[in-house]
Amino acid sequence: MAQRLVGLPAPDFTLETALGNGKEFGKVSLSDYRGKWLVMFFYPLDFTFVCPTEIIAMSDAIEEFKDLDAEVLGLSVDSVHSHRAWINTPRDQNGLGGLNFPLAADFNKTTARAYGVLDEEAGVAFRGLFIIDPEGILKYQVVTDLNVGRSTEETLRVLQALQAGGLCPANWKPGQETLSV
């Protein structure tokens, strides 16, 4: 099950990707994000029902992430060919209809295992969300059940709180005071 990774160097990875344009393949490593924040999320499988809602929401918010000097990367245990087919499937047919970030193929499940989100019995990843700082240190992790989609708004709020550099109370939002000690 999930292990504590927060405060430690994020586990390294090199994975093949299907680019968001639905045409090209690529390769991505943790080191590619050095100097930027990385919002990395695992989802169970392509062509499922909850997954496209959160993947599309993350894609639609890409400019907000970029404004915070953050990149986004989605991962599942599917192949790059499955990712590309799903990206090219129209949204009204349960597809992604193009994305603003790549989907990585953790086909051999080593990255999901390294991040502690692999459901060994089912052979898929739980919904794991990780925020990694520009130095490669994991600053935030949350893992949820397969049936519960994540909030892009909350992900952005947590990213902003991490970047605020202070003690942020519950429900803190940008522009609010941090706590003084």
Residue 59 domain flag: yes
pLDDT at 150 over 80: yes
Q: Please confirm, yes or no, whether 168 is among the known catalytic residues.
A: no
**Residue-level pLDDT at 148:** 86
Query: Given pLDDT bands bounded at 50, 70 and 90, which one contains residue 33?
Result: very high
Query: Given pLDDT bands bounded at 50, 70 and 90, which one contains residue 1?
Result: very low
Domain residues for 33? 14-164
pLDDT by residue (tens digit) across 104-131? 999 999 999 999 999 999 999 999 999 9
Residue 75 domain flag: yes
The letter for the amino acid at 69 is D
Instruction: Pick the catalytic residue from 19, 51, 72, 159.
Output: 51
88, 22 contact by CB (below 8 A): yes
3-class DSSP assignment, residue 79: coil
Could you tell me which of 37, 56, 63 has the C-alpha nearest to residue 140? 37
- CA R_g for the chain: 16
3-class DSSP assignment, residue 62: helix
Residue 171 domain flag: no
15-48: string of b/e by CB count within 10 Å (b at 16+)?
A: bbbbbbebeeeeebebeebeeebbbbbbbbbbee
pTM equals 0.94
**Residue-level pLDDT at 181:** 81
Q: What is the DSSP string of 86-111?
A: HHHS-GGGTS----SS-EEE-TT-HH
Residue 20 domain flag: yes
Query: Given pLDDT bands bounded at 50, 70 and 90, which one contains residue 18?
Result: very high
Parallel, antiparallel or unpaired: strands 37-42 and 70-76: parallel
Helix or strand run (H / E) with residue 154: helix 152-164
**Per-residue pLDDT averaged across 93-100, rounded?**
94
pLDDT by residue (tens digit) across 47-87? 998 888 999 999 999 999 999 999 999 999 999 999 999 99
Residue 129 domain flag: yes
Residue 8 domain flag: no
% the chain with pLDDT above 70 = 98
Residue 127 domain flag: yes
Helix axes 51-60, 152-164, angle to 10 degrees: 50
**Residue-level pLDDT at 78:** 97
Could you tell me which of 32, 40, 29 has the C-alpha nearest to residue 140? 40
Q: What's the domain count of the chain?
A: 1
Residue 30 domain flag: yes
The residue written with tokens 């459901």 in the block is 119
- Which CATH number belongs to the domain containing residue 46 in this structure? 3.40.30.10
